[in-house]
Every structure is written in C-alpha cells, then in structure tokens.
C-alpha cells in the first residue's frame, strides 16, 4: 500500500545530491537528537567524541557531493530546509578547521578527520550506508546505522527515521501500483487528481488549503531555481571546469523564436530550464528533490515550460504535481529512485516518467494516457548508468536532466497520439527497471568506478 506523502517525495534542500547531501544531513540531525538525549544522563567529566564512517557509494563519491559538509550541518542542528547555503558550502574549507557541537550541556569538538570514508568494503545491506558512533573516553558507547535510500529518504534497520517524518494517517484510496489506481478510478468515477488529493489530506493530516499552500511553497522554490539559473554564468564548483550554459541556451531559444523556428525553440526552452535548475543544484543552491537532487531539473523545466510558454494555470500545475508524485511513489515502492541502487534510470528515468505524467495531466489527458506516457518515458531510460565524473553531479547529470525533460515531452506526444492499447504497462516497465538495475555492475551505480567517471583519465578520489 502506498502511503508516502507528497511532501516526503518533494523536499526543499541544498544541492547537489539527495542521497549524498540531503539524506546524510537528516541522518546526522537524527543522531544529534539521539545523543543529546543520551548525554543528559551522563557524567560530564568524560571526554566525548564522535566518529562517522561512510560506506559504499557514499564513501566513493561523498567528497564530490559534499557529504562531509552535510553531515556537519546536521550535527550542528540544521535540516535541509533551513541550512544557510553560504555557511554550508564553506564548511571544512580548511582541513584543520574544528567545530563546536553544543548538545544540551555538552560541547563536542568535531573535525573533518572524524569522518572516515571507507573505500574498501561495505559490510551493510545498502550501497549508501552511514555509521555514527558516540565515544566516551575513546570507548564506543552508542552506535546508529542509517541508509540513505534515495531522494533524501533515510532508513534504519528498525524503521524509517520517524522523528523527521510528518505524522501520518491512512490513505483514503488504497493502491500499490498503477493497475490498482486505474481500477480504483474506473470503479469510483473520481478523477485521479481528486483521488490523490484525498489521499494526501488523509496521509499528511492536512486540509485541502494546507496541502495546496505547501505545494505552492515547493513550486516557488522550483520556479526560483529556474529563474536564478537562467541569470547566472561562470564555472561550477568542484574543479571540473564545467561552465554554466542555461543562460546562453535560453538566449538561443529566444533567437529561434524570433526566427519562427517554433519546434527548435520549444526544445531549446525545455533544455534551458532544465540546465538552469541542474546547474543551481550542482552549485549547492536550494532546489527540490524531484524525485532526487540529481534529477531535480526535469520537473521544474516541465513546469516552467507549461507556465511560461503554454500559460497553464497554477492550480492545474499543482494538481498535476500530485499526479507526478503518484508516479514517483509507485516507482519508489516497487523499485527505487536511487542511482546508487539501480543506476540513473531510477533517478532521471523516474523524473522523466513523472514529468511525462505532468505534461499529460496538464494537457487534459485521462489516466490511461498518463500511465502510458510515464511508461514510455521510463522505457527509454532503461539501463542508464550512474557514472558521475569525480562524483560531482555535473557530467553527465546536468545535460541528462535536459534530455530527460525533452524525452518526457516526447513521451506525452507518443502516448496521447496513440490509437491502440500499449503492449507494456507502466507497472511492467517499473519491474523491468528494477531487474535491470539489479543486473547493473556496481561500477555504474554512483561509485564513480566505471563509465564516464573513469574515461579520459578521470579518477574517482577527491582531488584527483
């Protein structure tokens, strides 16, 4: 049964990675709460220290993604929604910097070398694992293991990190996949956005007004990321010398429009909008997981195109986002939205499927077309690897968001123009994506050990 809230999937936070930045910050915040409670009952004359170990893909590409800075932010008591971006991006700029953590009555000194990147082995069940250890007089007394499972979601072996989740109710309409939802819709005659709104109100225990007010906040950050990205130029941080290209792409789109080359201009605009948000994400600015930070550019590009160029109203967009979220929920529950688990097909592929559903809903298509568009978008991302160079969310990630947005539009066109029933259902393609991801070598799952990451002499280690 799907009981994920819209606001668990779409979360405001800093770039560049939901699994390597947002998830670790939330886990560190959670551990901070745990040890603060623990230390209240301890004698204060003991020496207190912390160690954090990162395993798997978190170790392999953590430096490039700024995981160490995100962990410190969480330990200092920041969450992704309220962390000051400039301070975050300046943490650990000098390797000998030390930070004072105030935990109740206790003060703990924390330095970068308290974080250990275990490149060699991962004894845990998930490729993105963090182990937090509290030591008293250098003896471990408390340990907590978290898994960053994609999209900023974190889990422990016992439960999802409950203190960071909103209080949940039971959904009004029960479904686990697209087939269930299609059947529900046929039997009830209720339109899909109304079904999803009822579920969101039931799960998040909010009124309709509250749900739409919070969706408006999410929309605002997405739209602002496009606006900001379209204005900026220069080189992105990280040392790859990647230039921002959104502004020049947008100027090209305007030029194409003036020339009457409408088709080219459409794609140029979608590309420019997606580049804008993805470049903001790569620069560590505020974006929205959609469903992840790496894939954060596809849905804002879709929204910018629908609002700016097609003049679709904000209420339709908000309801369309509920539909896009439903596609993300089904993928998350039945496969994964994590590049470290199933490759980029699970990140940009999922974002494109969600965006195809958004296009279809906003253009007034029924649920069977929405499902078909999502299926087509995912089908043509199958097998896509996650192999970011130097572990930075730049190459291939930024252009990949642009191609994801264009594919999403084309998937909508293919689905809405079809006159026969599709042979492959959305649920089938999600299962194929899951199996394909399991078959992918670990080299292609956010470890920067293969593909583009090791081409042309690039290595994966920090500073290489």
* Residues at the site binding ligand SF4, with contacts judged by CB under 6 A: 294-295, 339, 344, 347-348, 386, 388, 393, 396-397, 400, 446
CB distance 56 to 460 below 8 Å? no
Q: Quick one: 64 or 74, whose CB is closer to ligand SF4?
A: 64
128 vs 372, beta carbon nearer ligand SF4: 128
- 106 in Cβ contact with 38 (< 8 Å): no
- Min. distance of Cβ 409 from ligand SF4 in angstroms? 19
Q: Which is nearer to ligand SF4, 328 or 388 (CB)?
A: 388
CB of 397 to ligand SF4, least distance (A): 3
Choose among 157, 62, 127, 161: nearest CA to 339: 127
Work out how close the CB of 25 gets to ligand SF4 at its nearest, in angstroms, rounded to a whole number: 17
Q: How far apart are CA 448 and CA 442, in angstroms?
A: 9
Q: C-beta of 361: minimal distance to ligand SF4 in Å?
A: 24
Least gap, CB of 269 to ligand SF4 (angstroms): 21
Residue 280: CB minimum distance to ligand SF4, A:
14
Smallest separation (angstroms) from ligand SF4 to the CB of 16: 8
Under 8 Å between Cβ of 433 and 378: yes
DSSP 21-73: IIHHHHHHHHHHHHHHHHHTTS-TTS-EEEEEEEEEHHHHHHHHHTHHHHHHH
- Which residue, 14 or 294, has its beta carbon nearer to ligand SF4? 294
Q: Which is nearer to ligand SF4, 133 or 397 (CB)?
A: 397
What radius of gyration do the chain's Cα atoms show? Answer: 22
In contact, 324 and 49? CB cutoff 8 Å:
no
* Under 8 Å between Cβ of 130 and 57: no
Min. distance of Cβ 386 from ligand SF4 in angstroms?
3
β partners of residue 108: 101
User: Which among 294, 289, 290 has a CA at the least distance from the CA of 278?
Assistant: 294
The residue among 5 and 18 lying less far from ligand SF4, judged by its C-beta, is 18
Q: Is the dihedral of CA 293, 295, 301, 302 positive or negative?
A: negative
Residues forming beta bridges with residue 142, ordered by sequence position: 134
Of 353 and 415, which has the nearer Cβ to ligand SF4? Answer: 353
Eight-class DSSP state of 382: T
To the nearest 10°, report the CA torsion of 223, 224, 227, 229.
-110
CB of 185 or CB of 345, closer to ligand SF4:
345
Please say which residue, 295 or 369, places its beta carbon nearer to ligand SF4: 295
Distances (CA, A) of 164 to 14, 23, 37, 367, 426: 17, 11, 16, 33, 31
Q: How far is the CB of 338 from ligand SF4 (least distance, A)?
A: 8
């Amino acid at each position: 049964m799907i009981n994920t809230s819209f606001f668990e999937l779409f979360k405001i936070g800093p770039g560049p990675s939901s699994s390597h930045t947002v998830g670790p910050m939330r886990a560190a915040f959670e551990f901070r709460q745990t040890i603060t409670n623990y230390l209240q009952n301890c004698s204060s004359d003991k020496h207190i220290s912390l160690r954090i170990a990162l395993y798997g893909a978190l170790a392999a590409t953590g430096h490039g993604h700024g995981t160490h800075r995100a962990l410190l932010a969480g330990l200092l008591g920041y969450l992704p929604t309220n962390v000051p971006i400039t301070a975050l991006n300046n943490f650990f700029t000098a390797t000998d910097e030390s930070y004072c953590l105030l935990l109740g009555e206790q003060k703990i000194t924390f330095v970068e070398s308290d974080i250990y990147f275990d490149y060699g082995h991962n004894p845990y069940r998930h490729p993105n694992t963090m182990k937090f250890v509290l030591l008293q007089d250098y003896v471990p007394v408390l340990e907590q293991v978290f898994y960053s499972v994609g999209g900023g979601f974190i889990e422990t072996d016992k439960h999802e990190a409950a203190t960071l989740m909103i209080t949940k109710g039971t959904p009004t309409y029960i479904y686990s996949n697209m087939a269930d939802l299609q059947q529900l819709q046929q039997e009830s005659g209720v339109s899909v956005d109304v079904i999803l709104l009822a579920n969101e109100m039931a799960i998040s225990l909010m009124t309709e007004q509250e749900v739409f007010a919070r969706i408006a906040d999410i929309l605002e950050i997405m739209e602002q990321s496009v606006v900001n990205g379209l204005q900026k130029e220069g080189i992105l941080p990280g040392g790859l010398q990647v230039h921002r290209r959104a502004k020049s792409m947008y100027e090209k789109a305007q030029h194409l429009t003036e020339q009457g080359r409408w088709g080219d201009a459409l794609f140029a605009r979608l590309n420019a909008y997606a580049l804008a948000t993805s470049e903001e994400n790569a620069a560590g600015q505020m974006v929205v997981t959609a469903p992840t930070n790496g894939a954060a550019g596809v849905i804002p590009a879709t929204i910018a195109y629908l609002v700016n160029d097609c003049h679709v109203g904000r209420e339709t967009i908000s309801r369309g986002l509920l539909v896009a979220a439903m596609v993300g929920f089904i993928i998350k529950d039945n496969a994964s939205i994590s590049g470290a688990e199933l490759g980029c097909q699970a990140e940009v592929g999922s974002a494109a499927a969600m965006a195809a559903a958004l296009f279809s809903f906003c253009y007034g298509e029924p649920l069977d077309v929405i499902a078909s568009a999502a299926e087509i978008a995912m089908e043509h991302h199958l097998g896509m690897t996650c192999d970011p160079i130097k572990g930075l969310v730049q190459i291939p990630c930024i252009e990949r968001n642009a191609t994801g947005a264009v594919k999403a539009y084309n998937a909508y066109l293919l689905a809405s123009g079809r006159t026969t029933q599709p042979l492959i259902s959305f649920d089938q393609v999600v299962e194929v994506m899951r199996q394909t991801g399991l078959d992918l070598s670990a080299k292609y799952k956010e470890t920067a050990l293969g593909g583009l990451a090791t081409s042309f002499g690039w290595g994966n280690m920090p500073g290489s």
